[in-house]
Amino acid sequence: MSNNPDILRIALVQINPVLGDVRGNLEKARKARADAARMKADLVLFSELYLSGYPPEDLVLKPAFIRDCMSAVQELATDTEDGGPAVIIGSPYRDETGLFNAIAVLDEGKVQTWRLKVDLPNYGVFDEKRVFDVGPMPGPVNVRGVRIGVPICEDIWGELGVCETLAESGAELLLVPNGSPYYSDKMDVRQQVVLKQVIESGLPIAYLNQLGGQDELVFDGGSFVINADHHLAVQMNQFEEAVIVTTWQRGTDGWYCEDGVKANLPDKREANWRACVMGLRDYVNKNGFANVVLGLSGGIDSAICAAIAVDALGEERVRCIMMPYDYTSQESLDDAAACAKALGVRYETVPIEQPVKGFTSALSELFSGTNEGVTEENLQSRTRGTILMAVSNKFGSMVVTTGNKSEMSVGYATLYGDMNGGYNPIKDLYKMQVYDLSGWRNSHVPPDCLGPGGEVIPRNIIDKAPSAELRPDQTDQDSLPPYPVLDDILECLIEKEMAVSEIVEKGHDRDTVKRIEHLLYIAEYKRRQSAPGVKITPKQFGRDRRYPITNRYRNN
């Protein structure tokens, strides 16, 4: 640690907590602090609500949980009697005035002070006003003789002027603990938010973000420091755990951070892929599943999910099952086998002719006098779903479900069939994104991915026309517009909330847009019953987009 009052060494701890594992998170914090001490840090900064995990949702309404979190804070405070670095750590906090999203400042063996979050987000994936109370406008905290402002996440995103208030009340630099979830191009958004606050406050800002998957959300890290002169001094990796020490010096114009690590951030496709991988990996591991199973049909969606699963867990933890029926082509059988071989996964074939015909026989009297159609097609899908769930029950494997956002939008998925499963890594990827990422993965092996290099998704799967193969010569485009058209209409309806007339003005056929809007609305009940999946777009189904199931509104 520095004996120079004009030098401050701050460790940025970008690590992966487990929500609700207070003891485990505490032990991980202790290890990170010990690592920071070996690197001569004066102060260690952890992410928002690190000890509880983020977002804790209604878990914080349990008094025992809050007591456990605050007890862990006190234990970590006692550790600082050793003369090592001080600590700023996120935790829920309760006093006689309410329950707060807070940070604790720990030094010299005790909790020196708490600071409470002011701006509680209540949009998109956030619902903090449901469980937390609003804190008072904060002043800076004194750490080793330096006045530090600690706005918490949304405190720098909103318009309440928290950073300016801290600057006006004497803060010399700002450290921001965050729980900022990933979506595509989010890093650019974060840096612009921080730069705006640097300009308005005149202070340097260290932005520390959480890492790891938590149900639908992925926290990608990507922590960074921007100095008061707008210079990017430090950029940490996305999707990777790290503890780094930043060196700050006090000059004639105030504090500035010396240049440190400058990670090369992934481009959009790599970032989206790694988000899908991290989301699946952490969901499986944090929920205690030993392995996963999925149906491998020879189509693009199941192929990309198999590749993501292998990248997340390794080939030995992924089992793929082909379940052919009368309409399954030899091409699909060959493609599925080639994909499984390329990925190195366990691969088995379970024909479904016998159980499907058993269902149709059992229902023959009930269905007498009716024509075959979607009902009989769905029996195939539901038979496959039953087989996968049986394997899951027998061997403890989690079923990976494989529907993309285009299909989930318009209801082209079968409840209790191909929607069966515990988690869907491509739930928030449109069909054209699935194609794009599949081609990209064939020529790239991202960091931390466990799968092989080369063509892991056979080219024929990418090139052929997509089909559910539930009837002879079926293709998706029999009943849907081409996917580039469909995806653009869906993005306009979902992400941009555009009116039908506005979408038609873009050049789309009015009847087509109205039909897609109708399908989008009537499929809401299906989406409510779907497995969670990784958030990739700014408006994911579920947390981001909460539409009523019973809904007669249509616009023009």
Considering the candidates 28, 69, 153, 492, report the single residue annotated as catalytic: 153
Q: What one-character-per-residue DSSP string does 309-335 give?
A: HHHHH-GGGEEEEE---TT--HHHHHH
Query: How far, in Å, are 274, 421, 448, 506, 546 from residue 311 at the CA level?
Result: 9, 19, 8, 39, 31
SS3 readout for 40-100:
CCCEEECCCCCCCCCCCHHHHHCHHHHHHHHHHHHHHHHHHHHCCCEEEEEEEEEECCEEE
Catalytic residue among 28, 48, 69, 186: 48
Strand partners, 212: 219
CA-CA distance, 525 to 522, in Å (whole number)? 7
3-state SS string for 388-404? HHHHHHHHCCEEECCCC
Residue pair 208/190 in contact by the 8 Å Cβ criterion: no
* 397 vs 287: CA distance, rounded Å: 12
Residue 495 a catalytic site member: no
48 is catalytic: yes
Q: For residues 552 and 196, give the distance between their C-alpha atoms in angstroms, rounded to a whole number.
A: 42
SS3 content of the chain, % helix, strand, coil (to 5): 40, 20, 40
- In the three-class reduction of DSSP (H, G, I as helix; E, B as strand; rest coil), residue 211 is classed as strand
CA distances from 457 to 115, 423, 460 (A): 50, 21, 8
Q: HEC string of 524-556?
A: HHHHHCCCCECCCCCCCECCCECCCCCCCCCCC
Between strands 98-107 and 86-95, the pairing is antiparallel
Instruction: Please pick, among 28, 69, 117, 492, the residue that the annotation labels catalytic.
Output: 117
Please indicate whether residue 517 is annotated as part of the active site: no
Number of helical (H) and strand (E) elements in the chain, helices listed first:
17, 19
Residues across the chain: 556
| Torsion 507-544-409-343 (CA) sign | positive
Catalogue the active-site residues: 48, 117, 153
